[in-house]
Chain A
Amino acid sequence: MNIATILRLSLKEIIANKLRSILTMLGVIIGVFSIIVLVSIGEGASANIKKEISKETNLIKVEMFPNDEEKQMDYDRVLGFYKKLDIKNISPILDQQPQAKYKKIEKNISLKGVDHTYGTMINAKLKSGRFIAALDVDYRKKVVVINEKAVKTFFKDEYPIGKDIKINGDDYSVVGIIANREVSMYERLSEELIAPITTVQRNFGVKSINKVHIKVNDKEKVILISQKIEEALKKFYNTKKNKVSNEDGVDDEYEGYQFNDQFYVYTPEKEMKQVQKMTRTFSLMLGGIAGISLLVGGIGIMNIMFVSVTERTREIGIRKALGAQRKNILIQFLIESGVVSGMGGILGIGLGILSNFLIGKFSPLKPVLNIKVMLIAFTFSVAVGIIFGIYPANKAAKLKPIDALRYE
């Protein structure tokens, strides 16, 4: 009995029982659909972050949160600290999360106090207007550069440049608009407002700098310099040696973020590794969810296959009377359950592709679908059908011809 014929017959069987077949497939459809959509969203997000990180391959980011007030660094102290290390191209940042208000719209935003070096440091794409200039910093000008998201939130259809936006009681004049960017993988895209660091310091009554970006011209030296900074910061904060050494006695710090009480030093490499780690964890989790829903789908298939075997007892008897071997019957039912679940898989993939398209169109997420995931999902769904079909198919194959023929 050739496979093509069995396939054709099982397709007929499935089409003849449309509603039942679709209900049977539902578990598999949902399982495969969720794999496709979730994995695509995950892949899309990590691809986006990776793209952002790879743009900044020569950027080291330092964050500081000293326990001791003595150890807080103001603008000049930061500059001096890095000058002593002979590290140029640095950009100190003061981060705040205040509310901003324009007309009746009020919202929590991310405010960055920066100097004139920040724009080139992050490769900010200026959409219109200008960036923060050295004079703005010197004269503590109340000016602000906002990202497109903030434009959308606060100004809607108005032209923002020249308008005043209220932050912590002070009016800041909008001078420039920059493109949105992924800030980091933990932060959602938020309204980003960038002002002169001196203005922010005065407005919030805060002197200490909590972030520094360092640009390294020679990419090869990123790790070396980040180590240098780390050593210096450790010395500065007087933290105990906090190294994790592996068997080779090699410093293991660069496997991920080295947690330290008072500071983090991020390098693109570390961030990339972290993203990969997160992506892996995410994929594993998705695998678990998908596995469970496919399992449930498989049980549904097994259930229906039992019903089908019972309903078709007489058919099995006829086939056996006509010379069918056990294996012919077994293969027929296995193929049928494989086809049911495989079709469920295809429908799930189709639905997944459709909703990826819709998600990409109507939400900020940009799902990325790769063929590998589709193939794996499809193979998995067929396998589930066949595995859960074994028991019912075996029951069918073992029926005695005489009993099966007598069955009414």
Chain B
Amino acid sequence: MNKPIIEMRDIRKTYETGALKVEVLKGISLTVENGEFISIIGASGSGKSTLMNIMGCLDTCTSGEYILDSKDINSYSEKELATIRSEKIGFIFQKFNLLSKMSAYENVELPLLYKGIEKKERKRRVLESLEIVGLDDRQDHRPTELSGGQQQRVAIARAIAGKPPLILADEPTGNLDSKSTEDIMNILLDLNKSGTPLVLITHDNDIAKLASRIIRISDGQIIKD
């Protein structure tokens, strides 16, 4: 009964710069079951970020089939993709990507505003998400007033506030020290335990090992699953 959250078949991505054609993804097929925690590991330039961008509907593939939460999104327009990003996906970035002029509260609230959730419910969810990451006492702080680890926790709160069926994390601990890394990974593991499927991209073997499934990518292809 539990349908897979991600089904990818023979995904290819080619970048064209002038006469030069570079195939970054050379036919990736991948299924992520609901509730699964997988990590995608690979060296830089292996194509793992491109794969994540396609998974996150930030980019489209050149060819192949991508079904996200039972929706075939290959044919989707830009507007529909924006809706998918809003409804289905929570992003966590390596560089946190918080808006520096907004407080932690406002940053977490932002995706909910785009989703059109009404005010009372918004407030409830923002506070709940901040509590999950343990920052409910920092809601009025600006990103610059927070440590790296705290910023990433705000970003996680932002990713989960909309209760998306999928969370994508692109090197979430890449800019953090070992203590913060441990905190962040614990939060992510807890999230996964409560049922949210998690796709984590990393080049760090130790981090990758925390996942129930490790996919190794090299030169645009899956070499180990």
A residues contacting B by CB (< 8 A) are 1-2, 5, 9, 12-13, 16, 314-315, 318-326, 328, 401-402, 405
Contacts and interface: CB of A to CB of B under 8 A. Distances in A.
A12 B101 CA distance: 8
A94 to B, nearest CB: 76
28 contacts: A1-B116, A2-B113, A5-B113, A9-B101, A13-B101, A315-B99, A318-B97, A318-B99, A319-B99, A319-B114, A321-B58, A321-B97, A322-B85, A322-B86, A322-B91, A323-B82, A323-B85, A323-B115, A323-B162, A325-B79, A325-B82, A325-B83, A326-B79, A326-B82, A402-B53, A402-B58, A402-B59, A405-B58
Nearest to B80: A325
A5 B113 CA distance: 9
A326 B85 CA distance: 13
Contacts of B114: 1, 319, 322-325, 328
B158 interface: yes
B102 A326 contact: no
B56 interface: yes
Nearest to A325: B82
**Which 8 pairs, one residue from A and one from B, show the smallest C-beta to C-beta distance?**
A323-B86, A323-B114, A322-B111, A402-B59, A1-B113, A402-B58, A401-B58, A325-B82
Scoring B58, B101, B116 by chain A CB atoms within 10 A of each residue's CB, the highest score goes to B58
A99 to B, nearest CB: 69
Contacts of B85: 320-323, 401
A338 to B, nearest CB: 19
Interface residues of B, number: 24
Interface in B51-70: 53, 56, 58-59
A405 B97 contact: yes
Describe A's contact surface by its main secondary structure.
helix
B78 interface: yes
A2 B113 CA distance: 7
A260 B97 CA distance: 80
Given A326-B78, A326-B79, A321 B56 contact: yes
Nearest to B50: A402
A154 to B, nearest CB: 66
A405 B91 CA distance: 12
B101 A324 contact: no
A328 B110 CA distance: 12
Interface of B: 53, 56, 58-59, 78-79, 82-83, 85-87, 91, 97, 99, 101-102, 110-111, 113-116, 158, 162
Contacts of B116: 1
A102 B85 CA distance: 89
Nearest to B56: A321
A319 B110 contact: yes
Nearest to A13: B101
Scoring B82, B83, B102 by chain A CB atoms within 10 A of each residue's CB, the highest score goes to B82
Given A326-B82, A401-B58, A321 B101 contact: no
Contacts of A405: 58, 97
A403 to B, nearest CB: 9
Nearest to A15: B101
Contacts of B53: 402
Contacts of A325: 79, 82-83, 86, 114
A372 B110 CA distance: 39
B19 to A, nearest CB: 21
B173 to A, nearest CB: 19
A402 B91 CA distance: 13
Nearest to A6: B113
A5 B106 CA distance: 10
Given A1-B113, A13-B101, A323 B58 contact: no
A396 to B, nearest CB: 14
Given A13-B101, A322-B85, 4 more contacts: A16-B101, A323-B115, A325-B82, A402-B58
Contacts of A13: 101
Contacts of B158: 322
A210 to B, nearest CB: 74
B99 A323 contact: no
A323 B78 contact: no
Contacts of B102: 9
A401 B85 CA distance: 11
A335 to B, nearest CB: 14
B50 to A, nearest CB: 9
A5 to B, nearest CB: 6
Nearest to A327: B79
Nearest to B98: A318
Given A2-B113, A9-B102, A323 B87 contact: yes
A319 B114 CA distance: 9
Contacts of A5: 113
B7 to A, nearest CB: 22
Nearest to A312: B99
Given A401-B58, A405-B58, A322 B110 contact: yes
A91 B102 CA distance: 78
Contacts of B58: 320-321, 401-402, 405
Contacts of A401: 58-59, 85
Contacts of A318: 97, 99
A2 B115 CA distance: 11
Given A402-B53, A405-B97, A323 B111 contact: yes
Contacts of B82: 320, 323-326
A358 B99 CA distance: 45
Contacts of A314: 97
